[in-house]
Amino acid sequence: MRRQLVKKNGFTLIEMLVVMLVISILLLITVPNLLKNNGAINDKGCEAYIKTVQAQVEVYKIENENKIPTLDQLKTDGYIKETKCPNGDGIEIVNGEVKESDTATTATTS
């Protein structure tokens, strides 16, 4: 009987551990950066949404003889879909100007 040398294809345990270590280090570096920037992204999204709602207020005023709408009127008439910013902060319309409200509950009652 002759012994045949069989070449095995695959990864050793050490190679798998090294790959797992590299992946873990990359995750430790990237996850905190993503979480840190999440607040800034939400704030920018809210600023952009306020500008969009302001533009819709102007369109409403043009189409309705200079009447200043409420958020509920804008939503009911299909000008906007939400009365809150993407980050959950409320918005309100004061004298035709769209602003971020102090509380989220005033956004739906304006």
Average pLDDT of the residues in 98-109: 62
C-alpha to C-alpha distance for 71 and 9, rounded to whole angstroms? 65
Examine the pLDDT at 83 and tell me if it is beyond 50. yes
Quick one: pLDDT at residue 6?
67
Which of these, 5, 12, 93, 98, lies nearest to 49 by C-alpha position? 98
Residue found under tokens 């280090």: 25
Averaged pLDDT score across all residues of the chain? 85
**What's the confidence (pLDDT) of residue 35?**
80
What pLDDT score was predicted for residue 2? 65
DSSP, residue by residue, 63-108: HTTTPPPPHHHHHHTTS-S-SB-TTS-BEEEETTEEEE-SSTTHHH
CA 85 to CA 104: how far, in whole Å? Answer: 9
**Per-residue confidence (pLDDT) for residue 17, from 0 to 100:** 95
